[in-house]
Structures are given as structure tokens and as C-alpha cells.
């Protein structure tokens, strides 16, 4: 699990990272409920949400959502930039207020926008991170929680090249050729310059 701490002079995010992750990969894997915004800044293009599977809406009315009567839903979405899937997300969301339930079940907001609309920064806990067996992709599991809305999320980044290639968005999904950013070995990880 992650340890996110700060004081008046220092901020620290500690996690037992796989040894061969780059700095930019660690930044993406530690995004705290704002991955869509983070990826939009990284790619300098809008990131859209392509809705996939959503479990049926709970039968209880939205107005009944509470700590004693939470409403739950499982959903999957893809984050897409210029036609390329940059992240596949599957989440279990738990709504414990009518306001959160309305944003999720009626307005169909993505998770990050639910927290922003509620005006609450979620508590973030990174649970696990890994590299796919083929070495091509990355994944993470984490939780986001406020008193009104809790989520357990698994995200998969299908191609690590997106973090290391200047022309990744312009290449085809099957192309492995890309123009890498100049890399410098920092001793702990490879850093793009």
C-alpha cells in the first residue's frame, strides 16, 4: 500500500514500485482520481470517456442512498485520446448519499467528475501496481474514498510506449516503431529529458 504524507516542508509518496518503471510511469500510476486530467495534460489533447459495461442500476431509488443503504454499481470505461485507448478502467463504485447517486446513476458522470462535482478531494490508496506478463502494458489497483462516494478501481495502460514515444498517438495500434524521447539513466529509473 502507498504512504502519502506531508508536513510544512516536505511531501512524500512512497510505494514499493517495480524497479523498471520510469518516472513518468510512476506519475501516471499515482494519479489521485484525476487520471483523465493528468493524461490530457501529458498528451496535450482532450481525453474522452468511452463507456463500456455498466451493471444494472440498483433497484432502490437514488434518494435512498446512505451509509446504511449504500447503492453499488460495477462499470468499465476506456479513456481515449485521438482515437487511441490510453487506459482501460473497471471499477466498483459505492454511493452513500443521494447527491453521489444522482451524479453516477442519473447524470452518468465518470468517477473523477463525481468527486469534482461533490467538491471533495478523495482519500487515495494505491494498493498494487504491475507490468503485464508481455512487458508491454502497466496496471494498477487503488481506492478513492469520501464519506459520500467510494471506489475500487483497476486500470490498465495497454502500451508503455505511450510514456516514452513522442509520436505514439500518431502511430497505429500495431506499430512498435516510435521515436523515443531522449533518455537519461538517473540511477534509479530512466528519466526522459
Q: Tens digit of pLDDT for each residue in 92-103?
A: 999 999 999 999
pLDDT over 90, % of the chain: 63
Asked whether 169 and 159 are in contact (CB, 8 A), the reply is no
* pLDDT score for 170: 86
Where along the chain do its domains lie? 34-158, 162-193
Q: Tens digit of pLDDT for each residue in 61-110?
A: 899 999 999 999 999 999 999 999 999 999 999 999 999 999 999 999 98
Rounded distance between C-alpha atoms, residue 85 and residue 142, angstroms: 20
Query: CA distances (Å), 48 to each of 38, 152, 156, 170, 176, in order?
Result: 12, 21, 16, 17, 24
CATH number of 34-158: 3.40.1410.10
Amino acid at each position: 500500500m502507498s504512504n502519502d504524507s506531508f508536513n510544512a516542508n516536505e511531501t512524500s509518496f512512497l510505494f514499493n514500485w517495480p524497479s523498471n518503471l520510469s518516472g513518468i510511469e510512476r506519475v501516471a500510476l499515482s494519479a489521485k482520481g484525476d487520471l483523465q486530467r493528468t493524461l490530457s495534460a501529458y498528451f496535450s489533447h482532450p481525453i474522452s470517456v468511452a463507456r463500456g459495461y455498466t451493471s444494472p442500476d440498483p433497484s432502490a431509488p437514488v434518494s435512498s442512498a446512505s451509509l446504511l443503504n449504500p447503492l453499488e454499481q460495477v462499470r468499465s470505461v476506456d479513456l481515449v485520446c485521438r482515437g487511441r485507448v490510453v487506459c482501460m478502467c473497471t471499477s466498483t463504485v459505492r454511493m452513500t448519499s443521494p447527491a453521489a447517486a444522482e451524479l453516477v446513476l442519473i447524470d452518468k458522470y465518470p468517477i473523477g467528475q463525481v468527486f469534482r462535482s461533490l467538491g471533495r478531494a478523495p482519500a487515495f490508496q494505491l494498493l498494487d501496481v504491475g507490468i503485464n506478463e508481455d512487458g508491454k502494458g502497466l496496471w494498477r489497483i487503488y481506492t478513492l474514498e469520501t464519506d459520500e462516494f467510494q471506489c475500487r478501481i483497476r486500470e490498465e495502460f495497454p502500451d508503455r510506449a505511450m510514456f516514452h514515444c513522442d509520436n505514439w498517438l500518431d502511430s497505429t495500434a500495431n506499430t512498435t516503431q516510435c521515436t523515443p524521447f531522449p533518455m537519461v539513466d538517473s540511477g534509479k529509473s530512466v528519466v526522459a529529458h
